[in-house]
Amino acid sequence: MDTSAPVPAGEPVYGGTLRIAINRSINAKALDPIFADGTACDQVVNQYGETLVQLSPDGSEYLPCIATDWTISDDGMTYTFTIRDDVHFQVGEYQDGRLLTAEDVAYSLNRAHEKAWWNYIPYFEYAEAIDEHTVACHLEYANALFLYDLTSPSGVMIPQEEVDGWGEEEFGSHPIGTGPFKVVEHVPDQYTKLEKNPNYWGVEPYLDGLTYYIIVDEAQNMNALSTGEIDVSVNIAGDYIKQVKDNSNLVLAQGPQNRIAFCGYNMSDPILSDKRVRDAISMAVDRNQIVSAVYANGDGIACSLPIPVTCWLYDESLESLAPAYDPEGAKKLLEEAGYPNGFDIVLSVGQSDAYVRAATIIQAMLSQIGVNVEIQSITPTEMTDRLLNNTVQLFMRDGGQGGSTDPASFVGNFLDSSKLHTNYNAWCYEDPETDELVRKAAASTNQEERIEMYQELLKEAMDTDIGLFYATLNTSWGMQNNVHGYVLETGAVMRVCGLEGTGINIWLS
């Protein structure tokens, strides 16, 4: 972790509103946990909502949250959770802040599994309330990722009355949860205001409220931080990192994420269905040049694998599985594939500067082997639609892909056919034998066996060449030096008030 020294904080004080800039739009539906489609939405959902369990800040363990404890059946297919008896929903339009029960937990998880846009927990069967404070979750097959999947914003607890009252299309504009802050105003693509939840069961927040501002342009984002219009930017990147370091009024917090950046190949596309074409693209791009140009200020490090360097499976020797930079070899492969003069192709990319810059570098490199790349920079909603409708060719999502330190949340999900056309498997990889290995690896409790199986899956992903993986990302937050009580987590979200023992409770001096 690299943090420049903040001014002495003194004793925490109550009060104030934290102003936070995020760089992606949030539409009218996206604050409903089942429609949250990126880290910008996650930033807000994780303040108003809570899940059964949470990841510790360093990502190494699961902490009790809505659930106080849990047991796992011997076959790994039933998880039984004890639910806290002092958790109240925030006051809403259709309920008055009533007590959360096991029925609410079952409703929330079943709804998320059935309706979440990205096929939430595909191996999940159903949840049932055993009694007022006990919930049993039944799986179709054992999977070591279940507790991690429960930490997703899609697993946030919500009251059915509010969903039914507002309707599926409107609930996201009036979301209700159990967290330390409540959403009081949401203006799509502009800002979202939250206030302290007076009936919160956990640690009392120091802050009175939060306001998230959508500032997509990175220069405007940096200007707002420099002039004090905002207190925090959770999306500092590129040369702006140095500007934060050089400003005595600002603080930089930087550290590794469980997150990778890549350019994916849709293998169901007529052109990209040919492995020789995919290999040619991978061989024509110098990953180190992308990292040197885009992440020169420490916001990413070179990594050519479908797992981050923070993953326990990661081994430098495995980097040799990636095709070496060889433009001339790439041209020969294209000629063999029937494209001696190249071809035209569309690269769908998000709107953040880092990904657009990387896309531009890829475009220039592919032009050297005759491939004409049209870059289409699109919103998160448009990207989600293209993934769901399978209308991408090459694609680069803002934020890449995050997960846990377990490779099941990366390469395991990437090769899982149950996640077709989602952010995990937009390359449309399908193979029954691989599906069997994915499930076996996730269900195993023997770490040596898991390492062996995930190495096999890693080799399959690289040999098939599902995408051009080029970096493990670092978190880079820029803050005014009067912001205190934050903890840099391995996830991309800045949690404003955390569970007891995490040390997270932001305050302003």
Q: Decide the pairing of beta strands 17-22 and 232-233.
A: parallel
Residues 6+ apart with CB under 8 A from 408: 143, 144, 145, 438, 441, 442, 454
The residue type found at 339 is Y
Tell me which amino acid residue 355 is.
Y
Q: How confident is the model at residue 37 (pLDDT cuts 50, 70, 90)?
A: confident
Q: Is the pLDDT of residue 7 over 70?
A: no
DSSP for 147-186 reads: HHHHTSGGG----HHHHHHH-TTTGGGS---SSSEEEEEE
Radius of gyration, CA atoms only, the chain: 23
The pTM of the full predicted model, rounded to 2 decimals, is 0.90
Identify the pLDDT of residue 8.
60
**Exposed, middle or buried, 119 (CB in 10 Å: 0-12/13-18/19+)?**
middle
Q: Are 257 and 310 within 8 A, CB to CB?
A: yes
Q: Which two tokens stand for residue 284?
A: 């024509």
| Nearest 10 degrees: Cα torsion 36, 38, 39, 44 | -20
pLDDT given for residue 3 in this prediction: 44
Q: CA-to-CA distance for 230 and 211, rounded, in angstroms? A: 9
Residue 246 CA from chain centroid, whole number: 29
Burial class (CB within 10 angstroms; exposed 0-12, middle 13-18, buried 19+) of 81: buried
All domains of the chain, ordered by start, with CATH? 17-231+482-508 (3.40.190.10), 256-473 (3.10.105.10)
Q: How many helices (H) and strands (E) does the chain have?
A: 14, 21
Of 196, 153, 124, 121, the closest CA to residue 31 belongs to 153
CA angle 358, 361, 363 (to 5 degrees): 110
pLDDT value of residue 491: 86
For residue 452, pLDDT over 90 is answered with yes
Residues 185-234 pLDDT 10s: 999 999 999 999 999 999 999 999 999 999 999 999 999 999 999 999 99
Check whether 417 has a pLDDT greater than 50: yes
142-to-75, 188, 440 alpha-carbon distances in Å: 7, 39, 9
Is 48:194 a contact under the CB 8 Å cutoff? yes
